[in-house]
Amino acid sequence: MFARNHRRIDVVEESRGLFVDEFLSEKEQIEEIRGWWRENGWYLGGGAIIGIAALLGWNRYGVYQDIQAEAASALYVELRQAAADDAPGDARTLLAQLRENYSSSPYTDQAGLLVAVLRMRAGQMNGAADELRYVVDSTRDPELALIARLRLARILSHQEFFDEALAVLDVDPGSFSARYNEVRGDIYVATENSVSARMAYNAALTAQESDLVDRNLVQMKLEDLPIAEVVTTEETTQ
């Protein structure tokens, strides 16, 4: 009997777990629990403290994020008002503040697109292109980047930087396939490449998202393309 009790006590001690030997007296069991707690209780207490600290930290971070979002939203509202008041200088100043203090906010990306429009209307094509490049390079929103690329390609095409415009469009357009192909078609028309223009316009009309473009306008562009002449060998020898 003694050997059996001694063996079970050894198992308890070696495992260092909270397992109380049923053969110990009540007082011995209490002492066993107290000993285990002295050796291991700080793990539990420390874990609880860490958990509470993490929870408080997360809540504090959430509050901070909310404050940042509200501040960025307020600046964006001011910027929109400046745009409505035809004050592009004020709008650019507010955009600079957004980019400096709230670079990761979606309001900053939207503000960049708006200022690009203002600069384009003012005839500042290079400045508008720079604003759009900034959005393309910095935004975390893939769809917003696609919109910025589309507008940038139009500006570059207007400036007759056709190769660069096509390069800007050389990405997966996702749900903007129809619009990307329409712009490609316009660029090819400008470079007198009617074959590629025809392919691009047809792609725009047959894209799954073709409802995002003016189908009648694209069809008119397609019909206005010159018909490719087929020159036979016989004709060339006459």
Q: Please choose, from the candidates 167, 172, 181, the residue with its C-alpha nearest in 3D space to the C-alpha of residue 146.
A: 172
Nearest CA to 186 out of 213, 215, 136, 222 is that of 222
Is the residue at 50 inside a domain? yes
The answer to whether position 229 is within a domain reads no
Domains held by the chain: number: 1
pLDDT of 39 reads: 63
Q: How far apart (Å, rounded) are the C-alpha atoms in residues 193 and 205? A: 19
Per DSSP, which regions of the chain are E strands? none
pTM of the model: 0.69
Cα–chain center distance at 207: 24
CATH of the domain at 39: 1.25.40.10
Share of the chain above pLDDT 70, in %: 67
Q: Is residue 58 part of a domain?
A: yes
The answer as to whether 185 is a domain residue is no
In the three-class reduction of DSSP (H, G, I as helix; E, B as strand; rest coil), residue 110 is classed as helix
Q: Shortest CA distance to 23 belongs to which of 39, 7, 38?
A: 7
The tens digit of pLDDT for each residue in 210-224 reads 778 899 999 999 999
Q: pLDDT band at 206, cuts 50/70/90?
A: very high
Range of the domain at 58: 2-171
**Tens digits of per-residue pLDDT, 14-37?**
444 444 444 445 556 556 656 655
- In the numeric block, which tokens belong to residue 173? 């357009």
230, pLDDT greater than 50: no
